[in-house]
Chain A
Amino acid sequence: MRAVRPVRTRRVRPVMATEQPGRVSAEVALEELYAAHWRSLVRLSVLLVRDQGTAEEVVQDAYVALYRRWDRLRDHGQALAYLRQSVVNGSRSVLRRRGTAQRWLAREAGSVPRLEVATDPADANARRSAVLDAMAGLPERQREVLALRYYLDLSEAEIAEALGIAAGTVKSHASRGAEALRAALGPQLEELS
């Protein structure tokens, strides 16, 4: 499910920030979360949407959404889990919205023969492109499960929570996704082993 946006009530701006201690702590917490996780969350999103600029926007939105929701978070220890979930949901939304217009634009621009540069597995850039292409070719859920499992090292239970699906479903997506990825990335896997 998508993160629900807070009701947009008008908030009177405090004269001094100290009049709203809750806000101040939210800002401090946000900056700490930024310092600790900004880069890894952007990288997570790149695994999902492929494009870095898009990933940065998705993660930026996730931080802003967290701040807006801060007062309603029951457990602030869950802030990182909330961020992760926002990033996965935001990345998925971007991919879905890309559906129509972007495909058309890409076709008009002439299909960039991206796969051709990936033929030499010894080249690090080619290898990375091949991995991102392979991820992009997976069904949505498999891609998400693999990114959370292999990049963020989340447990089955954590993945289930982040995606709002059953643990058993995580398992089946993970094994099918891993199989598909191994099939697509044989040379790259050989090279890294």
Chain B
Amino acid sequence: MTDDPTADARLRRLLNDAVSDVEPRDALQEIRADIRDTSGTQRSSHLIPLTKETTMASARQSNGSWTYALSGALLAAAVIAAVFLLVGNPLSDPDDTDTPVAGDTGNGRDKPDKPGKNDPSPAPTQDPSTEAGSEEVGAVYYVGITPGGPKLYREFQSANGADDLARALTLLQRNPLDPDYMPTWPEGSLADASYDGDVIRVSITDPEYRSIPQGLDQPIAQAAVESVIYTLQGAVQDRAPVQFMLDGNPVDQVFGVPTSEPLANGGVLETLNHVSITEPVQASTHSGELTISGVGNSFEANLTWKLVSSDGETVRDGFATAEGWMEEKLFPWEATVDLSGLEPGSYTLLVQTDDPSGGAEGNGPDVDTKDFRVE
């Protein structure tokens, strides 16, 4: 294939040398075990009506803080939790020319304030000529790594799509605006989201996505699955269980997480980071008086914020009080930051929950940050 046999021989030696020190572990026993698994015992699970508990027990490295249980109590909590989706919006800053929602209708209330599923007129801002899909803002949950493990953060982005579910799917497979969050769903991995008023269905496009991706650990894989559940529930404005599908049938696992049956969302306070910043939007530009907002759940509803300049100096700080805290949900908070007198440049807003132990217990406060420019 190459004309120079000497050069060929050299490349051959080089490649052989490159892996000459690779001595793989002995995997014969594991291969035998895999074979036994796939030829008999595993299939029997289809014959027994699975409870959610047995599904969970069979999860690899099942994480105790996770619950797929569709018990009445949890459902009730989930319904309450849905309320937090109805509030807060990223769009009210007219200075924010960089936000992806700039072309939107201005009041920015179309998504967060969208009424429940039974309301026949959900979108006063909807353009009637959008049969082929339109660009609208949607909430999407991305995975972020915290000292307490992977958690979900909410971000708003605009996307094209035929409906809210289609847009939500697009956003799940897109890069987060905030580089602190992690993209977990490769483009093209998810498709065909639908909602029949009872169950949300979404398909993985390839059997590859049944297994945990190389390099990801189990908690991240589970958080990635939760990001789909929370995002699609947000799109339909209902805490409906989510059934993962492959080729038109329920799929037994996604990213290694058991998915044979419809999954309820994990508990809000276990799954979501306890604070998410909605405004300012990452990489936006502001001046004058900046309204910062988001959702959170913090001891006695207290959140603290500070504005840090690019050289690490705290130039402003203050408190925000959320609308509540003693429930299994995130509450809206809002505060005003006076940017006047600040040197133009890059700044980071840091908002964190109150940690009454002062770091003595647990993993410290939950934090979210946004970088933006002052001009």
A and B from one complex: yes
Main secondary structure of the interface of A (DSSP, over half): helix
Neighbour of A150 across the interface among B15, B46, B145, B182, CB < 8 A: B15
B30, B31, B39: most-surrounded residue (chain A CB, <10 A): B31
The answer to whether B30 and A52 have CB atoms under 8 Å apart is no
Per-residue contact bits, chain B 1-25, to A (CB 8 Å; 1 contact, 0 not): 1100011101111111111111111
Q: How large is the interface on A (under 10, 10 to 19, 20 to 34, 35 or more residues)?
A: 35 or more
User: Using a CB-CB cutoff of 8 Å, which residues 139-157 of chain A contact chain B?
Assistant: 146-147, 149-151, 153, 156
With a CB–CB cut-off of 8 A, which chain A residues contact B21?
A: 124, 128
Residues from chain A with Cβ under 8 Å of B145 in the complex: 108
Q: Which residues of A contact B224 (CB under 8 A)?
A: 101
From A93, A97, A98, A150, give the contact of B11 (CB < 8 A).
A150
Instruction: Please classify the interface of chain B as helix (H, G, I), strand (E, B), loop, or mixed, using the class held by over half of its residues.
Output: helix
Q: How far is the CA of A153 from the CA of B185 in the complex (A)?
A: 37
Provide the bound-state CA to CA distance between A90 and B25, in Å: 19
Q: Would you call A36 an interface residue if the criterion is a C-beta within 8 Å of the partner chain's C-beta atoms?
A: no
Count contacts on B: residues with CB < 8 A to the other chain.
51
A60 to B214, Cβ gap below 8 A?
no
Smallest CB-CB separation from B2: which chain A residue?
Answer: A178
Please tell me if the beta carbons of A55 and B18 are within 8 angstroms of each other in the complex. Answer: no
Over the window 14-28 of chain A, the binary record of Cβ atoms lying under 8 Å from chain B Cβ atoms (1 yes, 0 no) is 000000000100010
Across the interface, which residues of A come within 8 angstroms of B35, CB to CB? Answer: 27, 30, 64, 67-68
Check if A189 sits within 8 Å of B38, measured CB to CB.
Answer: no
In contact, B46 and A56 (Cβ under 8 angstroms):
no
Residues in B neighbouring A38, C-beta threshold 8 A: 24, 27-28
Would you mind naming 11 contact pairs between A and B with Cβ atoms under 8 Å apart?
A13-B39, A13-B41, A56-B27, A100-B183, A101-B216, A101-B220, A128-B21, A175-B2, A178-B7, A182-B7, A189-B14
Q: Which residues of B contact A (CB under 8 A)?
A: 1-2, 6-8, 10-25, 27-28, 30-32, 34-35, 38-41, 43-44, 46, 145, 175, 182-186, 207-209, 213-216, 220, 224
